[in-house]
Amino acid sequence: MTEQTRTTTPATTGHDAPRIVTRTGPGKFVNDTGAVFTREILLVLRDPFTLIFSLLQPLIFLGLFGPLLTGAFGGSMGGVGGAGASTADTLQWFVPGVIVMISLFGTSMTGSNLLYEIMTGSYERVLATPLDRSAILVGRALKEFAPLLVQGLLIAAVCIPFGFTFHVLPALAGLVLLGVFGVGIGALSHALALASKNREWLFWGVQQSLLFPLLILSGMMLPLEAGPSWMQTAARFNPLTYMVDAERVLFGGTFADSAVLWGVVAAAATCAVGLLVGIRATRRSV
């Protein structure tokens, strides 16, 4: 489908008559997505406390889980380090998992913001605009990538004085990969909020019921090698497992690993499914 530009001229006289230009096709989608993204990100910038507060939980996990893992496993987690390994080895294993946790927490909460807008009536005003319905979803989902990038870099920076090694290019690639994954999760959260309209308890019940099993079965906080066989089998069907494995490899400074490929597949599949479900739900909500 080629981009088209439709130009209309009001019935006025003179050479300075105003012209209204309306874009259609891919150009309109891109412009509308940018408009929605700008609106959403400005809300975050006007209230930076939310972004800062969201860093407290991962920092607590790092401060409390890190020493426990070092003492319990000696640093030999998922092939990282060996017996008697240092805190630096533990951080190299644990920090990528914490960054994935930030992504999952933030993007899965996208629907809660939508529920608030539905209750206040602002979402209906957005639907009354000529914005492309798909752009509304994609713009909201893309908004999650910018805070994720900032939070991931801050977490890594905090851990560098304690021995964490930050490999710039692989780590940035890992954050981009998480951004793709986060768009899919954010779109699914958006669809869940629309399905839970006027039943907020349904959104929180489903979100909380899925969130923590996904976290535990991904090996994010504890190595799955120490768990029973049924947990290891269940983890193979968890896309978050492949994301965590890919992030650990990338933050370790390596691109050439099969775990990275599986992470790309998991991120792309999650993004595709999320956008498909979310766009359908958004269009039906009109």
The residue among 135, 141, 154 whose CA lies nearest residue 109 is 141
Q: How many Cα atoms within 13 Å fall on the side-chain side of residue 45?
A: 8
- The count of structural domains within the chain is 1
What's residue 3's pLDDT? 47
Rounded to whole angstroms, the Cα distance separating 119 from 96 reads 36
Q: Quick check: is 8 in a domain?
A: no
- Whole domain around residue 54: which residue ranges? 22-284
Kindly give the residue spans of alpha helices, DSSP state H, lying in 160-257: 168-195, 200-216, 229-235, 239-251
Q: Quick check: is 6 in a domain?
A: no
Structure tokens at 283: 């269009």
The residue among 283, 277, 113 whose CA lies nearest residue 193 is 113
The residue among 257, 132, 109, 120 whose CA lies nearest residue 185 is 109
pTM confidence score: 0.79
What's residue 174's pLDDT? 92
Residue 81 DSSP label = S
Q: Would you list the DSSP string of 112-158?
A: HHHHHHHHHTHHHHHHTSS--HHHHHHHHHHTTHHHHHHHHHHHHHH
Q: Quick check: is 174 in a domain?
A: yes
What's residue 268's pLDDT? 95
Instruction: Extract the residue ranges of the chain whose pLDDT is less than 70.
Output: 1-25, 48, 50-52, 54, 66-86, 286
What's residue 17's pLDDT? 44
What's residue 71's pLDDT? 58
Q: β-strands 20-24, 4-8: how paired?
A: antiparallel
Residue-wise pLDDT tens digits, 237-279: 999 999 999 999 999 999 989 999 999 999 999 999 998 998 8
Q: Quick check: is 87 in a domain?
A: yes
What's residue 23's pLDDT? 56
What's residue 43's pLDDT? 77
Q: Quick check: is 1 in a domain?
A: no
Q: Quick check: is 188 in a domain?
A: yes
Residue-wise pLDDT tens digits, 75-105: 444 444 444 456 777 888 888 988 898 888 8
Q: Quick check: is 7 in a domain?
A: no
Q: Quick check: is 95 in a domain?
A: yes
Q: Residue 99: what are its φ and ψ, rounded to 5°?
A: -65, -40
